[in-house]
Structure 1
């Protein structure tokens, strides 16, 4: 079971909204809209995706990592390593 299962519908709703924003940006490019306006929308989509990622990360920490740490041992080590790598990917992007 995923840590985000309780908020799955909210995440899907946000992702659909982001998908619509991306389609809007594509139309802006097709219609030769002003570069700064396109970049502003790209920035908005980027922030929206970051918000989704941070929400998923929080749920992962709250559910998956907490549960693994309670079990201890290799499972805990694996979850902590996995989560550290995910955070590193988020920070680099």
Structure 2
């Protein structure tokens, strides 16, 4: 399964979010909460990179080897959309 690394990272992020919720409920120090939120964001970004790498190694590679030009164009279009979205949120 190509997504196993991303799944592991997402589960870590889920645990981190649960810990942050507990910190807020316990009225912990704001800076400590913020640092944990930033750590969670880093994990989510890492998971996204893992998913995109998997997409390149499986879906895109498969499209290229199929020699279906329309499918390759679709995969390129998808990646262009993700890159465009990433540039908007940065």
- Return the match for 2:77 from 67, 77, 81: 81
Q: Which runs of 4+ in 1 moved over 3 A?
A: 90-93
User: How far 1:91 sits from its partner (Å)?
Assistant: 3.7
* TM-score normalised per structure 1: 0.82
- Return the match for 1:66 from 54, 57, 61: 61
* TM-score normalised per structure 2: 0.84
Asked whether the 8 Å contact 2:9–2:46 carries over to 1, the reply is no
Distance in 2 between residues matched to 1:58 and 1:74, nearest whole Å: 21
Matches within 5 A, 1:38-53: 38-53=33-48
User: How far 1:14 sits from its partner (Å)?
Assistant: 2.1
Where do 5+ consecutive residues of structure 2 fail to align?
none
Please report the RMSD computed on the Cα atoms of aligned residues, expressed in angstroms.
1.5
- The match for 1:16 is 11
Judged with a 3 Å threshold, the aligned counterparts in structure 2 of structure 1 residues 60 and 9 are, in CA distance, closer, same or farther, namely closer
Where do 5+ consecutive residues of structure 1 fail to align?
none
How many residue pairs match? The answer is 88
